[in-house]
Amino acid sequence: MSYLVETFILLILIMFYWLNPGRRKKLKKKYGKNDFQHLRTIAHNLRLMLIADTEFVLQGDCSLINKGAVLYSFHFGVWELMPRILSKNTDKELGVLVNRYTDNNIYFLGRIMDRLLYWLRSKNHIRIFYPDEVFKIVNFVKNGGIFAALVDGDTFYDKYEKIERIACLCKVPLIPFVVYYEKGKVIMQMGCNPENMVKSMPEHYWWFYRSRRLTEVQV
């Protein structure tokens, strides 16, 4: 089952990137001879985020989040598994920031994907927040919740200042993290340097952003 899901995802990525001359050119410019391996790695990571059949490992000081925290990362590795990993290691309420596409998505398939992503992200009692719900986010964190967001966009730190502002308002730690697959395990590292992780494992970085622009990000 897992192999079939991964193969299906890879075929979608091939259609989306490889069969489009403009996107294929960007892919080759960024990854060179490893362009197809990048698609295979992303397909594997997406499959893991849908069907995680491996061991979870949390690395870092969990005492940092005892009184609430704001976490941030990039579209790297298997980032969607962060709430599941933390839920196994803390009794804190967890919330994640997502973009709202359903209301203005003109494509039927896009609306279906939005609903599917919302369902997947809200499993295990995870709170879902949208960018225009700042008051709700601040209230959530001040009441001891752990809030997480991805800050990259057309640059690595495109949305970092907004997330940093929330941590300052709530007077809680602002902690970077990454989640990635390695040697049969899904590993979440807290307190690491996400930018350095992308540089050391570039094939695990998802580089097509919310803005839908294929701008280049330096790694």
Give, in degrees to the nearest 5, the angle at Cα 128 between 51 and 201: 50
205, HSE (Cβ side, Cα atoms, 13 Å)? 25
- Does 179 have pLDDT greater than 90? yes
By DSSP bridging, strand 127-129 and strand 69-73 are unpaired
SS3 71: strand
CA 145 from chain centre, in angstroms, equals 19
Contact status, residue 173 vs residue 69, Cβ threshold 8 Å = yes
By DSSP bridging, strand 94-97 and strand 127-129 are parallel
How much is the pLDDT for 32?
81
The tokens for 28 are 């080759």
User: Of 54, 53, 51, 55, which is closest to residue 43 (Cα–Cα)?
Assistant: 51
Burial of 188 (0-12, 13-18, 19+ CB in 10 A): buried
> pLDDT tens, 119-156?
777 766 789 898 889 999 999 999 999 999 999 988 89
pLDDT tier at 178, thresholds 50, 70, 90: very high
> pLDDT tens, 82-127?
998 998 888 889 999 987 655 565 666 666 766 767 777 776 678 9
Q: Which domains does the chain have, with CATH numbers?
A: 2-50 (no CATH), 55-204 (3.40.50)
How much is the pLDDT for 212?
43
pLDDT tier at 78, thresholds 50, 70, 90: very high
Over range 154-170, report the average pLDDT.
93
pLDDT tier at 217, thresholds 50, 70, 90: very low
DSSP tag of 56: E
- Does 211 have pLDDT greater than 70? no
pLDDT tier at 207, thresholds 50, 70, 90: low
Q: Residue 205: in which H helix or E strand, if any?
A: none
By DSSP bridging, strand 146-150 and strand 55-59 are unpaired
> pLDDT tens, 193-205?
999 999 999 999 9
Contact status, residue 137 vs residue 166, Cβ threshold 8 Å = yes
By DSSP bridging, strand 127-129 and strand 55-59 are unpaired
> pLDDT tens, 3-58?
798 898 888 888 877 777 877 787 787 788 788 888 899 999 999 988 877 899 99
SS3 40: helix
pTM over 0.95: no
Average pLDDT along the chain: 84
User: Of 166, 194, 188, which is closest to residue 73 (Cα–Cα)?
Assistant: 194
Share of the chain above pLDDT 70, in %: 84
